[in-house]
Chains A and B, each alone.
Chain A
Amino acid sequence: MKILVPIKRVVDYNVKVRPKSDETGVDLNNVKMAMNPFCEIAVEEAVRLKEAGKAEEIIAVTIGASSSQEQLRTALALGADRAILVETEVEAEPLGISKLLKSIVDKESPDLIILGKQAIDGDNNQTGQMLGALTGFSQATFASEVNLEGDSLSVTREIDGGLQTLDINLPAIVTTDLRLNEPRYASLPNIMKAKSKPLDIIPAVDLGVDISPRLETIKVTLPAEREAGVIVETVDELIDKLKNEAKVIS
């Protein structure tokens, strides 16, 4: 069993980003970058499958600029065996990303692909499903439980009304939800070891895939601000405001 884990470098989840003053994009100057939290969960799940003797090899892959090597090293420190950077300065859209990932899938023939359900920058929630379409693989999105027994993969998914369980054929694509696992922290010895694990760099252009954007960002702005509210002193005052000022209860 070979597992491919596509990951993404994003702004750290604690950072509250703002638009650039000319509104051409998001201001990412000097903000802390990290691995997308859902990707950490994906790496963790792959590592647990390996630790349980159910997988032999974990390959972490990312599409991005040279700086993304940092997140690949993190994945290696968490337990991935080797890593691939598909290097491009183009800010590819999920469609382009999944096309590049399809090339990597063709080269590596993984049995299972685990990736985050969404990246917390674009909040698109597309890449896993798109890769499913391009590879023809089965998909189980928003996973909160993954059970792999031999060739049979059972996945519990978080859906709007509750939980759904699917049995899907391998090769398969699983996208992670928050409650799939709690990712570990990389230990210092593992961070050291990760430095010598293989990390291949493939220029995206070498894969011969058209990743030119289809969406043009016209502008990025702040959402409508809420007006500041008031602090009420008592429950009675709260009820009075809700009844007589906001008129939302009767």
Chain B
Amino acid sequence: MTALVVAEHNNQELKPVTLNTVTAALGLDQDVHILIAGNACSAVAEEAAKVSGAAKVLLVESGAYENFLAENIATLVSNISGDYDFILAPTTTNGKNVMPRVAALQDVSQISDISAIESSDTFQRPIYAGNCIATVKSSDSKKIITVRNTAFDAADATGGSAEIITLEEINDAGISKFVKEEIAESDRPELTAADVIISGGRGMQNGDNFSILEGIADKLGAAIGASRAAVDSGFVPNDYQVGQTGKIVAPDLYIAVGISGAIQHLAGMKDSKVIVAINKDEDAPIFQVADYGLVADLFEAMPELESKI
């Protein structure tokens, strides 16, 4: 039995979420292969070969895979899936985009966003914005899975010495074309990899006020996140959104500023180790999940916090 991990990368480097998926894969099977599909991405394959626990790295390079178009990558994964009992990808936008397409090509019911493995066919996954946890048992002979990265530790990025095998399996459906990408450049850690996150909500009032959070983020080495309301109002870009339909995070410290704590927001951050809430409304639901709550006007409390840490 063998497990295949579809790696998340940007043709230059392996994304850390891949390491959490490797851990999940190792929980199912000791023989774990990592697929690096992209273009001019051999450096990523070399990085993947060092991941502790990886037995083999499959490298396939083509312009058809450069931008991870679902049609092309799904056909690739489906075509090489014969040897695998488990195919896993992180629950990232790429994983979510590609894996169900693979599953349907293989006539398999995908198990989305698993948060625990009970056995080789039984998994836990959050449903209803994480208000319930379902334990599901799959009767498909092949398991196609996306993995909630916050629920699994990262595998060691070094220590492995997997063999790299180059595949010549090129598929170009020719029905979709990449036009452009606007990727926010930031010196801060990625939200899903950060140890500390400070998030702002509608209470921030506008985008400029997020500078109040930036000073604190600089001092704590934190990533900046946001509620849907802050993103919808145009204060910050979409990739800041934490929640049921945004990013799922579980840092050591999550600071929610001017966020009420709607279930859809809590779904994305309530597994954080320590939660701090700063809100002027003492009845805000965010205080029900906060380890430390401060009832205060954020425009007074946050500058004070910045100056004192």
A→B interface (CB under 8 Å): 11, 13, 16-19, 26, 93-95, 98, 117-118, 120-134, 136-142, 144, 154, 157-169, 177-179, 213-223, 226-232, 234-236, 238-239, 241-242, 246, 248-249
The interface residues of chain A lying within 8 Å CB-to-CB of B252 are 248
Answer whether residue B290 sits at the interface, using C-beta atoms and an 8 A cutoff. Answer: yes
Residue pair A164, B180 in contact (C-beta under 8 Å): yes
Answer whether residue B105 sits at the interface, using C-beta atoms and an 8 A cutoff. Answer: yes
Residue pair B137, A223 in contact (C-beta under 8 Å): no
Answer whether residue B182 sits at the interface, using C-beta atoms and an 8 A cutoff. Answer: yes
Residue pair A26, B132 in contact (C-beta under 8 Å): yes
How many Å lie between the Cα of A98 and that of B103 in the bound state?
12
Which B residue sits closest to A161, measured CB to CB? B183
Residue pair A139, B139 in contact (C-beta under 8 Å): no
Among A165, A169, A178, the residue within 8 A (CB) of B245 is: A178
The interface residues of chain A lying within 8 Å CB-to-CB of B69 are 166
Residue pair A226, B132 in contact (C-beta under 8 Å): no
Among A19, A136, A157, A168, the residue within 8 A (CB) of B132 is: A19
Q: Tell me which of B24-32, B53-61, B152-160, B267-275 binds A.
A: B267-275
The interface residues of chain A lying within 8 Å CB-to-CB of B131 are 16-18, 222-223
B232 to chain A, nearest CB (A): 6
Majority DSSP secondary structure for residues of B touching A: mixed
The interface residues of chain A lying within 8 Å CB-to-CB of B70 are 129, 132, 139, 141
A41 to chain B, nearest CB (A): 11
B170 to chain A, nearest CB (A): 18
The interface residues of chain A lying within 8 Å CB-to-CB of B101 are 129-130, 132-133, 139
With A126-B110, A129-B101, A220-B127 already in contact, the answer to whether A236 and B308 are too (CB < 8 A) is yes
How many Å lie between the Cα of A94 and that of B182 in the bound state?
31
The interface residues of chain B lying within 8 Å CB-to-CB of A26 are 127-128, 132
Among A167, A168, A179, A241, the residue within 8 A (CB) of B231 is: A179
The interface residues of chain A lying within 8 Å CB-to-CB of B178 are 164-166
The interface residues of chain B lying within 8 Å CB-to-CB of A229 are 275, 287, 289-293
The interface residues of chain B lying within 8 Å CB-to-CB of A165 are 178-181
B43 to chain A, nearest CB (A): 19
Among A121, A133, A139, A162, the residue within 8 A (CB) of B181 is: A162
With A98-B104, A129-B97, A166-B176 already in contact, the answer to whether A235 and B294 are too (CB < 8 A) is yes
Beyond contacts A126-B103, A164-B182, A246-B253: 10 other A-B pairs, Cβ-Cβ < 8 A, are A11-B128, A17-B131, A26-B132, A98-B104, A124-B100, A167-B176, A169-B176, A214-B139, A246-B291, A248-B273
How many Å lie between the Cα of A229 and that of B270 in the bound state?
13
Answer whether residue B264 sits at the interface, using C-beta atoms and an 8 A cutoff. Answer: yes
How many Å lie between the Cα of A223 and that of B129 in the bound state?
11
Answer whether residue B301 sits at the interface, using C-beta atoms and an 8 A cutoff. Answer: yes
Which A residue sits closest to B301, measured CB to CB? A235
The interface residues of chain A lying within 8 Å CB-to-CB of B308 are 235-236, 239
How many Å lie between the Cα of A242 and that of B216 in the bound state?
14
Sample of 28 A–B contacts (CB below 8 Å): A17-B128, A17-B132, A26-B128, A95-B109, A129-B74, A129-B97, A129-B98, A129-B104, A132-B101, A142-B97, A158-B238, A160-B247, A161-B239, A164-B180, A166-B179, A177-B238, A178-B228, A178-B245, A216-B136, A219-B134, A219-B135, A220-B132, A223-B132, A226-B270, A226-B291, A228-B288, A230-B293, A242-B274
A150 to chain B, nearest CB (A): 16
How many Å lie between the Cα of A215 and that of B145 in the bound state?
12
The interface residues of chain A lying within 8 Å CB-to-CB of B169 are none
For chain B, which range describes its interface: under 10, 10 to 19, 20 to 34, or 35 or more residues? 35 or more
| Chain B 168-218 residues near chain A, CB threshold 8 A | 173, 175-184, 192, 196
With A129-B101, A166-B178 already in contact, the answer to whether A232 and B294 are too (CB < 8 A) is yes
With A120-B244, A168-B175, A248-B274 already in contact, the answer to whether A162 and B103 are too (CB < 8 A) is no
With A13-B264, A17-B131, A235-B301 already in contact, the answer to whether A214 and B138 are too (CB < 8 A) is yes
Answer whether residue B1 sits at the interface, using C-beta atoms and an 8 A cutoff. Answer: no
A161 to chain B, nearest CB (A): 4
Residue pair B135, A217 in contact (C-beta under 8 Å): yes
Answer whether residue B280 sits at the interface, using C-beta atoms and an 8 A cutoff. Answer: no
Residue pair B276, A242 in contact (C-beta under 8 Å): yes
Among B71, B102, B274, the residue within 8 A (CB) of A139 is: B71
| Chain B 138-168 residues near chain A, CB threshold 8 A | 138-140
Residue pair A214, B140 in contact (C-beta under 8 Å): yes
Among A126, A218, A238, A242, the residue within 8 A (CB) of B122 is: A218
How many Å lie between the Cα of A243 and that of B107 in the bound state?
52
Residue pair B112, A125 in contact (C-beta under 8 Å): yes
How many Å lie between the Cα of A164 and that of B107 in the bound state?
29
A183 to chain B, nearest CB (A): 13
